[in-house]
Amino acid sequence: MNIYLVRHAQKDTSSKSTQEDHYNRGLTDVGLKQAEELANHLVSYSIDKIFSSDMPRAIATADTVVLKLKVSNVIKDRDLREADPCVIPNHPDRDKIKIQCWKEWDFKPEHGESYNEGKQRFSNFFWKEIVEKYGEKDNILIVSHGRVIRLFLSDYLEGGKEAIKTPYSHVAITHLKVNKKKKDISILRYNDNVFLSNDLRT
């Protein structure tokens, strides 16, 4: 089974005043172009199913791919959302909270989740709703978010937590080869955005 993890395209951060704004961000003009180039690149991948976080920036990215690949639909689920330690975007201590969460993955701030909780949420969906339910020959695309993708992959990348400190690029692809019987993952490519035009690599 081939599974491709992709971070959504560049989000619009012009409005940060409320929690609703934080979750409902769409894509910038650059993000729309990134999604188009991602879709063009994936044409040769023979994608069978597309899963997406239910957040608009991920859905907009996935929908662009669907139109190009002519896959039937996007399966959206909140369990593929970002791992968010502080859901209030204008919280005065937001940056400090995020730093503490990276240091202590079990730290759970008020109104948020710990990084270990976000990691487990994503992992449970990955194994139970995708790997267990689809075939060895399927090619599956998951459009999600940079932080939760890195948290999930920390168990499989050489170097663990140290290996995921570098930010995950917009629409970058991580190619996983999954052995269903052994519940084993091989990472064939990680955080790869070389298919993008240079001016779109963010």
Mutual orientation of helices 146-153 and 115-125 as an angle, nearest 10°? 80
Confidence of residue 88 (pLDDT cuts 50, 70, 90): low
Average pLDDT in the chain? 91
For residue 27, give the DSSP letter: B
pTM of the shown model = 0.93
Higher pLDDT residue, 78 or 88? 78
Residue type, 76: K
pLDDT tens digits for 171-190? 999 999 999 988 899 999 99
CATH number of 2-194: 3.40.50.1240
